[in-house]
Amino acid sequence: MSYVDIDTISLLEIPKISDPDGRGNLSVIEKNVLPFIIKRVYYLYDVPSDSSRGGHAHKELKQFIIALSGSFDVVLDNGRTRRTFTLNRPNKGLLIPSGVWRELENFSAGAVCLSLVSEHYNEDDYIRDYDDFVSSK
């Protein structure tokens, strides 16, 4: 698996359309926003604040994560460097390339985490042991 420079990962702006009459905002994700075709969508909710999710890397799958409601932290690790991103706006998302370890933590009450991913579920794509992940670099 190739090395991913964590410093090249950043939050992406999702186009936001504000209603001129103050009726709220609308955000749209179309094929020009993400560098992959969405093959699966899932969301996490009711995650206790002292729990974490993730704790794995993917060999091929790319993932775009959005905090639809509330906030949470995404800790990314390339085997050498760790970097934490706080997601707390529904018009910003985090694009995680393959080959990056991810952990989600510090969920606020009512947080909803939406994941748009590039592949269908495939257990063989997961690296679930951190030592195996580091040794694959």
Segment (H or E) for 25: strand 25-27
Please write the tens of the pLDDT for every residue from 43-99: 999 999 899 999 999 999 999 999 999 999 999 999 999 999 999 999 999 999 999
Please write the tens of the pLDDT for every residue from 103-118: 999 999 999 999 999 9
* Residue 58: active-site member: no
- Does this model's pTM top 0.85? My answer is yes
User: Which one from 1, 36, 38, 56 is the annotated catalytic residue?
Assistant: 56
Which candidate, 6, 96, 4, 108, places its Cα nearest to that of 47? Answer: 108
Which candidate, 39, 12, 43, 46, places its Cα nearest to that of 27? Answer: 12
What are 42's two structure tokens? 């899932």
Which candidate, 102, 17, 13, places its Cα nearest to that of 53? Answer: 102
137 pLDDT band (50/70/90 cuts)? confident
Predicted local confidence at residue 123, as pLDDT: 97
Separation between Cα atoms, residue 39 and residue 42, nearest integer Å: 10
Separation between Cα atoms, residue 87 and residue 69, nearest integer Å: 9
Name the class of domain 6-17+29-135.
Answer: mainly beta
